């Protein structure tokens, strides 16, 4: 009788196993960190190993029990599949909707915390993923202005909210449309249509209508609207209630020099002199920043004069002391050491230029002048080659607000500009400018 009962039990067990097509094999969890949280959701970064060795996607289940978020991460392994039993690295960013507050998180039976999450959360590291904008227009409504947008979301991560930021300057309405996506998230590579109507936070009537509509025949762009990479100027068919935009392009400034103490100061020139404002945009990530300095190209009639136009722009980045890498207008790159010491320029009174008879010529300069105070500090030099010459800076770095002896200290400094090809050049040294020719 016992043998019969045992045989029946074995047959039932085999039938249960055969009916169960997969076996849930838990993922080995090494670490989990809260990236973001609010009252309705929480995002975790989870890493560990797939212990089966099989390339089978992990399944994530969760529920809330006794104020705890219970998470199960496992591989559904078919019963008839043989796995090599090796460790495969596992990493994922998981977002869970919360139907009620939780005070504990358990992943595969491992408690992550036993205190309120507000004390444990860490700031999420994200990338600013911009929408791709193809068209824009403005029209007046009863409570202001609406910006009509047409474009694309550039990936399949549609679960992240769109963020819209607006800034109104004297000659520009700047709108940024983007999503903040965690750096660890990999999004599907797709384009998704995007349309929106954005209520403008500012009254454009005085800025745009009163100053622009009556002068639309004038061909130079004096007010622009930028939405991400899209940039437009007012069309002549615009009315006081509907602003039609002509999409145009940016004319990038040729960069000569860059300096920084907290703010970034950039000098350069445009090929022509135009009655147009100069705009800047910039991004800063850790110790790396990008800057764009540009004008908006006229779409109707070019009234610019064929003379180079020099510009200096100041960008209030508020950089901390340290070494930064930079890219300006996509091609001007380098590293920059930022110090909060004040630069005190030497006063230049005379410059002598010496040109050797070698080919190419070697050019050296002897600079004479004076220091405006008696503070002792090493002379620092910076030499930048521009499109038509050289810019040289001689200076000392002094602590802000330092009291220096009231005396004049003469100086003389000799510098080499290196090999210089034949041509006419302009040399600017602090407050002093001189031209020279290399035969």
For residue 227, give both structure tokens: 């939405």
Burial class of 58 by CB neighbour count within 10 A (0 to 12, 13 to 18, 19+): middle
Collapsed DSSP state (helix, strand, coil) of residue 51: coil
- The answer as to whether 11 is a domain residue is no
Contact 122, 34 (CB under 8 A): yes
Rg (CA), the chain: 33
Q: What angle do CA 174, 176, 182 make, to 5 degrees?
A: 155
Is 14 within a domain?
A: no
**Residue 113: its pLDDT value, please?**
56
328 located within any domain: yes
Per-residue pLDDT reduced to its tens digit, 417-426: 999 999 999 9
Query: What's the total number of domains in the chain?
Result: 4
Q: Are 12 and 20 in contact (CB under 8 A)?
A: no
Lowest mean pLDDT among 91-100, 119-128, 295-304, 366-375: 119-128
Q: Say what the pLDDT of residue 6 is.
A: 36
**pLDDT value, residue 208:** 60
The CA distance from 347 to 247, in Å, is 47
Of residues 47 and 240, more confidence is placed in 47
Mean of pLDDT over the chain: 84
| Same-domain check for residues 287 and 362 | no
* CA dihedral sign of residues 126, 132, 137, 141: negative
Considering the domain architecture, whether residues 238 and 135 belong to the same structural domain is answered as yes
The mean pLDDT value for 353-370 works out to: 93
For residue 71, what pLDDT is reported? Answer: 93
CB 171 within 8 A of CB 223: yes
Minimal CA–CA distance to 207: which of 245, 170, 244? 170
pLDDT of residue 116: 43
**Domain stop point among 75, 101, 119:** 119
371 found inside a domain: yes
Mean pLDDT check: name the lowest of 85-89, 120-124, 178-182, 357-361: 120-124
Helix (H) or strand (E) holding 75: strand 68-78
The DSSP annotation for 335-384 comes to EEEE--SEEEEPEEEEEEEEE-SSSSEEEEEEEEEEESS------EEEEE
pLDDT mean over 167-182 = 90
Mean pLDDT of 249-254: 91
Task: Look at residue 403 and tell me if it is in a domain.
Answer: yes
Whether 86 and 156 map to the same domain: the answer is: no
Residues 99 and 25 in one domain: yes
Q: What is the structure's pLDDT at 277?
A: 85
Quick one: what percent of the chain has pLDDT higher than 90? 44
Same domain, 189 and 78: no
Q: How far is CA 342 from the centre of its chain?
A: 28
Determine, yes or no, domain membership for 4.
no
What pTM did the predictor assign?
Answer: 0.55
What is the span of the domain harbouring residue 231?
A: 127-248
| 423 is a domain residue | yes
**Which whole-number Å values give the CA distances from 304 to 167, 224, 274, 301, 310, in the listed order?**
28, 18, 4, 9, 14
Least confident of 56-65, 70-79, 138-147: 138-147
Q: What confidence score (pLDDT) does residue 120 get? A: 45
Question: Distance between CA 42 and CA 34 in Å, rounded?
Answer: 7
State the Cα–Cα distance between residues 4 and 10, nearest whole angstrom. Answer: 10
363 plus 331 within the same structural domain? no
Give the whole-angstrom CA distance, residue 93 versus residue 274.
51
Question: SS3 of 57, please?
Answer: coil
Which burial class, exposed, middle or buried, applies to 293 when counting CB atoms under 10 A from its CB (0-12, 13-18, 19+)?
buried
In this predicted model, what pLDDT tens digit does every residue of 284-341 receive, in sequence order?
A: 988 999 999 999 876 555 678 888 999 999 999 989 889 999 999 999 999 998 888 8
| Confidence tier at 192 by pLDDT (50, 70, 90) | very high
Domain final residue pick, 303, 338, 373: 338
- Kindly list the strands in the beta sheet with 309-315, ordered across the sheet, starting from the edge strand earlier in the chain: 254-260, 264-270, 309-315
Residue 168, pLDDT > 70, answer: yes
* Residues 202, 244 within the same domain: yes
Return the pLDDT at 124: 67
Asked if residue 414 and residue 434 are part of one domain, the reply reads yes
Task: Single out the residue of 216, 243, 240 nearest to residue 299, CA to CA.
Answer: 216
Which residue, 230, 248, 266, sits at the end of a domain?
248
On the question of pLDDT at 72 being above 80, the answer is yes
| Residues 256 and 149 placed together within one structural domain of the fold | no
Are 224 and 255 members of one domain?
no
User: Over pLDDT 70: what percentage of the chain?
Assistant: 86
pLDDT exceeds cutoff 60 at 254: yes
- Tell whether 172 and 243 lie within a shared domain: yes
Does residue 394 sit within a domain? Answer: yes
Same domain, residue pair 394 and 363: yes
More confident residue, 66 or 74: 74
Tokens, residue 240: 């006081």
Quickly state the pLDDT bin for 209 (edges 50, 70, 90). low
Token couple for 222: 């004096």
**Rounded Cα distance, 327 and 338, in Å:** 15
């Amino acid at each position: 009788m016992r043998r019969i009962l045992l045989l029946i039990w074995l047959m039932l067990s085999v039938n249960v196993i055969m009916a169960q097509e997969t076996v849930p094999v838990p993922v080995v969890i090494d670490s989990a960190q809260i990236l973001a949280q609010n009252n309705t959701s929480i995002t975790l970064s989870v890493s560990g190993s797939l212990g089966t060795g099989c390339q089978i996607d992990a399944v994530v289940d969760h529920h809330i029990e006794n104020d705890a978020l219970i998470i199960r991460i496992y591989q559904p392994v078919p019963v008839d599949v043989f796995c090599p039993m090796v460790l495969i690295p596992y990493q994922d960013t998981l977002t869970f909707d919360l139907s009620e507050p939780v005070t504990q998180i358990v992943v595969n039976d491992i408690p992550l915390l036993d205190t309120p999450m507000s004390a444990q959360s860490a700031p999420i590291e994200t990338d600013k993923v911009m929408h791709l904008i193809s068209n824009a227009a403005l029209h007046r409504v009863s409570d202001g202005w609406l910006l009509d947008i047409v474009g694309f979301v550039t990936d399949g991560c549609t679960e992240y909210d769109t963020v819209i930021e607006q800034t109104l300057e004297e000659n520009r309405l700047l709108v940024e449309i983007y999503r903040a996506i965690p750096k660890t998230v990999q999004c599907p590579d797709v384009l998704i249509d995007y349309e929106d109507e954005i209520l403008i936070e500012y009254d454009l009537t005085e800025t745009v209508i009163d100053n622009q509509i009556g002068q639309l025949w004038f061909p130079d762009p004096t007010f622009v609207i930028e939405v991400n990479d899209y940039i437009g100027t007012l069309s002549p068919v615009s009315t006081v209630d509907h602003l039609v935009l002509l999409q145009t392009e940016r004319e990038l400034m040729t960069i000569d020099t860059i300096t920084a103490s907290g703010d970034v100061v950039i000098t350069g020139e445009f090929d022509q002199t135009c009655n147009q404002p100069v705009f800047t945009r910039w991004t800063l990530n850790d110790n790396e920043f990008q800057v764009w300095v540009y004008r908006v190209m006229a779409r109707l009639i070019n009234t610019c004069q064929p003379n180079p136009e020099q510009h200096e722009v100041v960008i209030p980045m508020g950089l901390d002391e340290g070494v930064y890498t930079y890219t300006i207008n996509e091609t001007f790159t380098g590293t920059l050491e930022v110090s909060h010491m004040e630069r005190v320029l030497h006063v230049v009174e005379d410059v002598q230029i010496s040109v050797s008879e070698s080919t190419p010529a070697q050019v050296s300069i002897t600079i004479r002048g004076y220091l405006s105070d008696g503070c002792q500090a090493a002379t620092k030099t910076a030499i930048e080659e521009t499109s038509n010459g050289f810019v040289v800076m001689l200076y000392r770095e002094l602590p802000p607000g330092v009291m220096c002896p009231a005396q004049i200290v003469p100086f003389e400094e000799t510098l080499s500009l290196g090999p210089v090809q034949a041509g006419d050049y302009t040399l600017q040294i602090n407050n002093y400018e001189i031209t020279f020719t290399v035969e």
